Amino acid sequence: MNERPTEPYDPADPATAGEAPVTPPTPGAPSTPSGQPIISSVPPPASTTPAAPPPVYVAPTAPAVVSTTGDSATPVDPAPFAAFSPEPDRVDRDRATWQTPVQPTPEAWFEPAAAAATVSASTATTSAGSGGGRRRGGGIIVPVFAAALISAMLASSGTYLVLRASGALDQPAAAVSAPIGQTTGVTQPIRIDESSAIIAVAAKVGPAVVRIVTSASANPNDPTATEGIGSGIIYDKNGWILTNRHVVSGSDTLQVELKDGRRFEGKIYGIDTLTDLAIVKIEATDLPTAALGDSSALKVGETTIAIGSPLGTYSNTVTSGILSATGRTIETDTDTINNLLQTDTAINPGNSGGPLLDAGGNVIGINTAIAANANGIGFAIPINIAKPIMEQAVAGQKLARPYLGIRYEMLDVQRAGELHLSVTDGAYIDVTQDASGQAGDAVVPGQPADKAGIKAGDIIVSIEGQAIDTEHPLDSVLTQFAPGRTVTVGLLRNGQKLEVQVTLGTRPADLTP
């Protein structure tokens, strides 16, 4: 039977606390063939530093049990020995491997709980003081960790270079909407920019928007006198105001009120003969003005802002919406108005004559009508149609519109198919009915078109190179030219293209639009 080393018992040593001391063998006790006792105490190897006690190994077989019968002792077969084998502790395995000589692996081993705690604590002390197994294991882990870290850094650098080269890192961050009741650090640019634009426009243009109060009788004591209220926009600092024809038409007196509280007597300078516009003049200088935009460059869906006096009471009210459509035609109680802008910006009675603005605060239209049987459907006259008469007024000229002397209808795909025409765009000259339902000549005798040789059945396809189509209707294009100017008119006659020179006349004042 091989000998197994065991730890000597020391009452002061925590590693052996609670264990019974080893009793020296008595004479006559069983011994190995060499005459040595079965259990012997082997001192630990000398060391310059205190070494933690190694695991206690127990022999796989038990020593012989002596049975006594009377005065004689008779050896008997040993009883079966039950061994317990817990999962080895990593710290103890390392310490046993590096600090103790290699021992034959037993079939089973047992380590008391108290000893295990002591061994673990001792192992940490030994590793820190003498460079035991844990330090050696760390020498392997550190290079592996360093290699993994370097690999990760190289991979991250490569990814960054690829994203930078593709431009992905230069793209702006998308706006993120925060749930209700929560906040987020991500800016929502569309909402904030739109709100800021409306605030800026209100501050910039508001002082140039006026309230116009009209009276239909010069005698204020006249019980039949009627009063109306509308809006207007100052476009020249010397008192020139643009408004609607229906706001001032038929009035005897006008009172113009500014946002700062000043009031002036106004006079009607002129009434537009083409559409629902009028020019009012007040005697004042250095007035706030609004900038004019370009209604031909508008895009459906862009922000629109209205400022006016809805219901005649709430002066300088600001509302906003979008441009819903362009080129609308509506029928009013008195006439037909063409080429209108449609918006869902709130427009109410009293807003008439006030400006429709873009997000930059530029006037793009003059609010003129609403759909009575619907909500969110308002109409404005494009500012480009108003510009010629605005300039005429400042120059001291009489308001005048160009005139061809023809009756026509604008073509589209459906109408061109019904008339069996070879083109789908243009102004088709034909006999039509006027506002009173009376049929008239397609080409008015003695007027500019007749003098230039234009005939019924011709299709006007361009003026001065500008194509005539649904987005550029004939009357809208004509307004850009002053009466008396000679223009080149492109025609389509019996499938053949030709051009004629036409000197524009002046539109009669009694001619309905």
Whether 222 shows a pLDDT value over 80: the answer reads no
C-alpha to C-alpha distance for 354 and 341, rounded to whole angstroms: 14
Contacts 24+ apart (CB under 8 A), 492-495: 492/422, 492/423, 492/426, 492/458, 492/459, 492/461, 493/455, 493/457, 493/458, 493/459, 494/457, 495/422
Q: Report residue 319's pLDDT band, with 50, 70 and 90 as the boundaries.
A: very high
Whether 309 shows a pLDDT value over 50: the answer reads yes
Whether 224 shows a pLDDT value over 60: the answer reads no
- Structural domains in the chain? 45-66+73-134 (no CATH), 205-282 (2.40.10.10), 291-394 (2.40.10.10), 402-506 (2.30.42.10)
Residue from 231, 315, 352, 462 carrying the catalytic annotation: 352
> Any idea which of 39-48, 285-294, 382-391, 482-491 has the lowest mean pLDDT?
39-48
- Looking at residue 129, its pLDDT comes to 43
* Whether this model's pTM surpasses 0.85: no
Q: What is the residue type of 144?
A: V
- Looking at residue 461, its pLDDT comes to 96
Q: Report residue 142's pLDDT band, with 50, 70 and 90 as the boundaries.
A: low
- Residue 302 near residue 267 (C-beta atoms within 8 A): no
Whether 108 shows a pLDDT value over 60: the answer reads no
Residue from 276, 358, 425, 458 carrying the catalytic annotation: 276
Q: What percent of the chain has pLDDT over 70?
A: 60
Task: Tell me how far CA of residue 395 lies from CA of 266, 388, 392, in angstroms.
Answer: 18, 11, 5
What DSSP string describes 215-262? ES-S-TT-TT--EEEEEEEEEETTTEEEE-HHHHTT-SEEEEE-TTS-
Q: What are phi and psi of 82, to 5 degrees?
A: -95, 125
Active site residue 166: no
Q: What is the residue type of 413?
A: V
Q: For residue 279, give the 3-state DSSP assignment.
A: strand
* Pick from 218, 272, 282: nearest CA to 249: 272
Residue from 246, 272, 295, 324 carrying the catalytic annotation: 246
Q: What percent of the chain has pLDDT over 90?
A: 46
pLDDT one-digit tens code per residue, 412-465: 899 999 989 989 999 999 876 555 556 678 999 999 999 999 999 999 999 999
pLDDT one-digit tens code per residue, 232-274: 999 999 999 999 999 998 898 999 999 999 999 999 999 998 9
C-alpha to C-alpha distance for 481 and 448, rounded to whole angstroms: 14
Mean pLDDT across the stretch 85-114?
44
Whose structure tokens read 């400042």? 394
State the Rg of the chain over Cα: 52
- Looking at residue 278, its pLDDT comes to 96
Active site residue 276: yes
Whether 11 shows a pLDDT value over 70: the answer reads no
Whose structure tokens read 């695991």? 55
pLDDT one-digit tens code per residue, 153-205: 776 766 666 666 666 555 555 444 444 444 444 544 445 477 888 999 999 99
415 membership: H or E segment, kind and range: helix 413-418
- 225 vs 320 pLDDT, higher one: 320
- Looking at residue 219, its pLDDT comes to 59
pLDDT one-digit tens code per residue, 31-59: 444 444 444 443 444 444 444 444 433 33
